[in-house]
Structure 1
Amino acid sequence: MPGNTIRDPDWWRGAVIYQIYPRSFKDSNGDGTGDLNGVSERMDYIASLGVDAIWLSPFFTSPMDDFGYDVSDYEDVDPMFGTLADFDRMLAAAHKRGLKVIIDLVISHTSDQHPWFRESRSSKDNPKADWYVWADAKADGTPPNNWLSIFGGPAWEWDSRRRQYYMHNFLTSQPDLNFHNREVQDAVLSAARFWLERGVDGFRLDTVNFYFHDEQLRDNPPLGTGEMPSTVEASNPYGYQSHLYDKTRPENLLFLERLRALLDCYPGTTSVGEIGADGQAVELTASYTEAGRRIHMAYSFDLLTPQHSAAHIRRTVEEMNRGIGSGWASWALSNHDVKRVASRWGDGLDLSKFAPLATALCASLRGTPCLYQGEELGLPQAEVPFEQLQDPYGIRFWPDYKGRDGCRTPMPWVRDNANAGFSEAAPWLPVAPEHRELAAFEQDRDEQSILNRNRAFYAWRRGLAALRTGDMTFLDAPGETLVFTRSCEEETVLCAFNLGTGPETFRLPGLELENLNAPGFAGTAAGSEISLNGLDAVFARVKG
């Protein structure tokens, strides 16, 4: 059982989660790759941000074809990142500072180096023969259906030993587990229990709607007439199918109930699912996070897109609030898979204004905000030359899509150091030159820096229950302003954000406002009038 005392089992509602990509956070042993001891070394920094929990991207044993999202042992640490003892020390360091620890659980697929798959592919009648998705070829030798891999090409790979195809939604070295087999479910739940017993506070569930496939292996239909490709990178043919049969199957709900029952045996633990939903984000978030039954919260990619107008954000969030029922959303503007928000939404803007505004906006929406490492510094997307790319996704689709390396470059800690304080050796990805001026310890010394404005906002937010768990109602506002209220018991807080660069002044008839003087923002609220500079915000108590 977890060793830390649980005071509030619902601590995760409105908590701020800080995502750490370990291989790019801090290298402690000089091999050019970040590790768990590096996370421990920077735990005081993490705690200083005012976040409530950390989410660690995978650190399990892996051949690293997809940087740890191809697991070959669910119950050990890859030597690249350290040892189980290093993990335990890191966990204790986080708990000592009041931080929860959520780890990435990647169970829709494994590495082809996992002992389960090695046994499964050895014959058609071994004990694990049905642990993965195997299918015979069509009469002409082609794959069993038209399913595609997200990483390009068919979602099927021929195996000469079994003389069958196996399914892979991602790389060919990432075979999909067969969740229709109860033994597979038991095995991945056992792996989850292993980490819960060590004291983790929950899981981020990678590709949570990919666990089950259609047992009949029916072809996916094409997108309907007039529909646009579902992926941002339209050069990928995956986006031209309607994914009815290769993911998001109804059987998934029953497995999530089994997972929730396990988590409920460890009071105070939580779960956040990643939903790749192709237009079904609201429906799936509602069903997957139904209160008390399945996972605790989920996030989609609806705010991880290039679209960022006030109208788009309002429409996205309103649709989620309206359709989520008893469930709970999580919101992110950046992560390890998408272009950083400072470049995706803030291109051409003053980042010293835009970055704190974006952070505050995400943390003010109804749900649980995730902050990706470096986002607190306002880091823009790095440009990684083709010859230094590591991401197989980017290498495959270059130059139309440059992959995910640009958001995964090393965390800059100091300006005047060969590798920005990340490592004493050449790092696995180059340090972006433009990141040096935004280095964490450089910003730490400047009270008006992006980092310190974000810290101040999170500290201020802690005192307002309405911003963490309150209901949310949008109000009409002009131009690129986004205005809504958050209400909890007797407290109602109005939040107004100007996403445009020009000033905005307007009235909200019928409201009596009292400026709460949120740190780092110059907007004013008095009576019913709101006044905002460009890229500014104001928070006000609604009186009466």
Structure 2
Amino acid sequence: CETVILHVNGQEIETQPQGDAFTAEVQLTAGSNQVNAACTLPGGGEVRSDPVTYSVRLRQAPTAVIHIALADGQFLLDGSQSLPAEGTQAAIVDYMWSAREGNPVRLQEMVGEVKGQSISITPPTTDGEYYVRLRVRDEAGREDTSTTYFVVEDGQPRIPDYDSENPTWVETAVVYGVIPFLFGSPAFQAVTDRLDDLVGLGINALWLAPINVHPADDYGYAVEDYFELDPAYGTKEDFRALVQAAHERGIRVLMDFVPNHSSDTHPYFRDAEEHGQDSPYWDFYDRDASGNPTHGLPDWTNLPNFNYDNPEIQRMMIEAFSYWVRDFDVDDFRVDAAWAIRERRPEFWLPWRRELKRIKSDLLLLAEATAREPYYFENGFDAAYDWTYQVGGWAWRIMWDAYKLRLLSYNLTEALTNRPEGFHPDALIFRFLNNNDTGRRFITRLGEGINRVATALLLTLPGIPCIYTGDEYGLEFEPYQQLEPLVFEEQFLGLRDYHKKLINLRKSVPSLHSRLFSIITPDPVPQTVYTYIRYGEPSDTPVIVLLNFSEEPAEFQFDVPEQFNTLPGGSSLYDLLAEENLPALSGGRMQISVPAQTARVLAAQPEA
């Protein structure tokens, strides 16, 4: 070739021929880029290569960055550290600030959009979280938005620790785990159709099992494309409509995201398998000394680990998470196999958190990893699983697997306290009776009576409780075995209303959604009973929870907790669950009867 001209998206670019090859530096744009080469032959004539399509997943846009400071009683918000679009010289020309809807009171300086590289805000005196957005636009018209927040607490303003604090909505979160294809077909529409039922139940967050593209015979954890949705579930517009409909009902949406590994049918992995080290994706995957892909889950050889020592993988995955937040308003993430990335690249998670929180600062980031490890709460996550130190080891399993629930009280105390190590001060524990990995449903294995008491345990403990697909109806199935949509009809009379009442109590009684509790040790009773007190601020009404898993009635006797010392002698307590008064004091001690396989949630009698 005398000359080689590259045609890139209709533009001609001269190259530097070097023998049988040529080089050129080309700026690709976000989306699909059509590239081919034209060779000019000696003496005339031209030969063109077949076109090649390069898909760029990284968007080309500026990056809005907010720096917040508190000085002289004013919040100073500065956007001057915002960055131009990568690979361009297009300057940022507009900085536009606005208050997010839903703040406790209006910010007096924020009426509509306020223009300027920086702004000053007078802190309100009303307690709560206040969210402010910055939208930047560059010369090419490209935009980006960032969000931050500040806190007013006891009338005093403060800047939260964004690396560790979680937003206050999490304290009253009740998550509902959704297996989309079991709701009907197409799945996104079927889930949308059930939102009113879920609102009626009282949940305020949906955890969607994996919805990215995956093989037809897979549950969803073998991802083939992180930027696309399984077409069997519906279109991107269907998903956007689901998220919007959930938000209109006060429900947040968590995506189940799978950053540790891909499917072995992912185009990147297939290219690496076909071309070996000549593939540009060879180094996208973690490999042993022999060049074989590694697997965080040894039994799942179809799930090769990504190589998080490769900056391109880190960038790709952060962009994949961000895409669903920016473009679809996804609220939160459950992060599959977070523990496995920690083993290979422990420093990855904190920069990941900072980028996601830059976009949407009230995100909940849930690690599929044990809450017993302080690491997760110091490195990017708000919450983690109620596991033992063993991967996938449900902390409560030992209680239910014991013959006739022997040592239940002892085993439950061990699970709730993790003694002697305890939990990180910021530990927020994700609790459940069922999820995708627990096999047969809890009610199938242990029956309705124990299921009811365990549900009361789940919904009255500190942490984030999860009700999983069909729990409230007593549906019996196994997630990885069930292929046909479920029929959401009550299998046990009154079970849905029982869930609804407990959820309502959790959300409406401040002590039940605080992070504070104390175990009460009653006089010698069977190991199949358990009791604890829930309390919060001094002004909050304390609550005693009594759980009788036994098939026999139980009499609970114990010293009066200090939170109840003001009860007059002979006073009764009110069972918030059964809605009845109960004699509670006898001889200066608590003495309360609990029927077989029953839970009581007791508080001081409400004022007439």
* SS of equivalent residue, structure 1 residue 81: coil
Q: Is contact 2:551-2:596 (8 Å) kept?
A: yes
Which residue in the other structure is 1:334 paired with? 434
Matched, 1:473 2:518: yes
- The aligned runs of 1:216-255 (5 Å cut-off) are 248-249=343-344, 251-252=345-346, 254-255=347-348
Q: Equivalent residue for 2:592?
A: 530
Deviation, 1:344, is 6.4
* TM-score, length of structure 1 as denominator length: 0.70
- Asked if residue 176 in structure 1 is aligned to residue 226 in structure 2, the reply is no
Shift of 1:57: 0.3
Tell me if the contact between 1:465 and 1:488 (Cα under 8 Å) persists in the aligned partners.
yes
The answer to whether residue 292 in structure 2 is matched with residue 165 in structure 1 is yes
Residue 521 of structure 1: how far off its partner (Å): 7.6
- Judge which range, 316-325 or 327-336, deviates more: 316-325
Select which of 285, 289, 296 maps to 1:132.
Answer: 285
**1:133 partner SS:** coil
1:268 counterpart (352, 359, 362) = 362
Measure the CA separation in 2 of the matches of 1:260 and 1:21: 26
What are the Cα deviations for residues 418-474 of structure 1, in whole angstroms up to 9, with x where unaligned? xxxxxxxxxxxxxxxxxxx61xxxx7xxxx610111112211221111111231111
- Say whether 1:257 aligns with 2:350: yes
Moved more, 5-14 or 48-57: 5-14
Q: Using the alignment, how far apart are the partners of 1:128 and 1:191 within structure 2?
A: 17
Secondary structure in 1 aligned to 2:351? Answer: helix
List aligned pairs for 1:35-434, cutoff 5 A: 35-121=187-273, 122-137=275-290, 164-168=291-295, 169=297, 170-197=299-326, 198-211=328-341, 248-249=343-344, 251-252=345-346, 254-265=347-358, 266-275=360-369, 281-284=370-373, 286-290=374-378, 293-299=379-385, 300=387, 301-303=393-395, 305=397, 307-308=399-400, 309-319=408-418, 322-343=422-443, 346=446, 349=447, 351=448, 353-381=449-477, 405=480, 410-414=485-489
3-state DSSP class of the match of 2:240? helix
User: Is the counterpart of residue 509 in structure 1 residue 559 in structure 2?
Assistant: yes
Higher alpha-carbon deviation: 164-173 or 52-61: 164-173
2:135: which partner in 1? none
CA contact (8 A) 2:432 2:465 kept: yes
Q: Which moved more, 1:76-85 or 1:489-498?
A: 489-498
- The aligned runs of 1:478-497 (5 Å cut-off) are 478-479=525-526, 480-490=528-538, 491=540, 492-497=542-547
Could you list the per-position Cα deviations for residues 102-161 of structure 1 after superposition, in whole angstroms to 9, with x for gaps in the alignment?
010111101122232233332314332211012354xxxxxxxxxxxxxxxxxxxxxxxx
Counterpart secondary structure, 1:405: coil
Q: Distance in 1 between matches of 2:496 and 2:536?
A: 29
Q: Is 1:540 aligned with 2:602?
A: yes
Compute the displacement of 1:337 (Å).
1.4
Which has the larger displacement, 514-523 or 462-471? Answer: 514-523
> Residues 17 and 53 of structure 1 are in contact (CA less than 8 Å); yes or no, is this contact kept in structure 2?
yes
User: 1:160 maps to what in 2?
Assistant: none
Letter in 1 for 2:529: T
Q: Which AA in structure 2 matches 1:57?
A: A
**1:10 lines up with 2:168 in the alignment:** yes
Q: Distance in 2 between matches of 1:173 and 1:50?
A: 38
Distance 1:136 1:315, change over 3 A: closer
- Closer/same/farther in 2, CA of residues 524 and 495 from structure 1, 3 Å limit: same
Rounded Cα–Cα distance in structure 2 between residues aligned with 1:75 and 1:483: 47
> Displacement, 1:537?
1.2
Letter in 1 for 2:361: P
Deviation at residue 355 of structure 1 after TM alignment: 2.9
> Shift of residue 407 of structure 1?
6.7
Q: Is the 8 A contact 2:170 2:364 kept in 1?
A: yes
Deviations along 1:271-330, one digit per CA (max 9) or x if unpaired, are 11112xxxxx3542x22023xx51110102424625332322221011179322222111
Q: Render the CA deviation track for 1:483-510: whole Å, top value 9, x for unaligned.
A: 1112211232211111111111122213
- Is residue 469–residue 488 contact of structure 1 (8 Å, CA) maintained in 2? yes
* 1:494 to 1:117, Cα distance in 2 relative to 1, 3 A: same
The one-letter code matched in structure 2 to 1:130 is D
Q: Does 1:499 align with 2:527?
A: no
State the distance in 1 between where 2:453 and 2:178 align: 21
SS in 2 for 1:165: coil
Provide structure 1 residue ranges, at least 5 long, that are not aligned to the other structure: 29-34, 138-163, 213-247, 276-280, 383-403, 415-436
Which region of structure 1 is more displaced relative to structure 2, 112-121 or 6-15? 6-15
Q: Distance in 1 between matches of 2:351 and 2:502?
A: 38
Which amino acid letter does the alignment assign opposite residue 333 of structure 1?
L
Provide the rounded CA distance (Å) in 2 between the counterparts of 1:111 and 1:470: 39
Cα distance in structure 1, aligned partners of 2:560 and 2:499: 32
Larger Rg: 2
Alpha-carbon distance between aligned partners in 2 of 1:204 and 1:57, rounded to the nearest angstrom? 9
1:515/1:542 CA distance change after superposition, 3 Å? closer
Amino acid paired to 1:412: V
- Normalized per residue, the structure richer in strand is 2
What is the one-letter code of the residue matched to 1:453? Y
Evaluate the alpha carbon distance shift between residue 193 and residue 5 of structure 1 in structure 2; reply closer, same or farther with a 3 A threshold: farther
Give the Å deviation of 1:343: 4.2
Aligned length: 411
Q: Which has the higher contact order (CA 8 A, sep 6+)?
A: 1
| Cα offset, 1:76, TM superposition | 1.3
SS at 2:284's partner residue?
Answer: coil
Moved over 6 A (4+): 1-4
Matches of 1:516 and 1:345 in 2, distance apart? 32
Contact 1:17/1:51 (CA < 8 Å) preserved in 2?
Answer: yes
Q: Is the 8 A contact 1:76 1:83 kept in 2?
A: no
Deviation for aligned residue 1:187: 0.6
Q: Which amino acid aligns with 2:573?
A: N
Contact 1:365–1:467 (Cα < 8 Å) also in 2: yes
Structure 2: runs of 5 or more not aligned: 1-63, 65-98, 105-128, 130-166, 388-392, 401-407
Equivalent residue of 2:413, what SS? helix
Q: Structure 2 vs 1, CA of residues 297 and 85 (structure 1 numbering), >3 Å: closer, same or farther? A: same
Residue number in structure 2 paired with 1:385: none
Aligned residues of 2:519 and 2:532 also touching (Cα < 8 A) = yes
**In the superposition, relative to structure 1, how do residues 406 and 450 fare at CA in structure 2: closer, same or farther (>3 Å)?**
farther
Query: Are the equivalent residues in 2 in contact too, given 1:523–1:538 (CA < 8 A)?
Result: no
Structure 2 CA distance for partners of 1:406 and 1:489, relative to 1, 3 Å: same
Taking only the aligned residue pairs, the percentage that are identical comes to 25
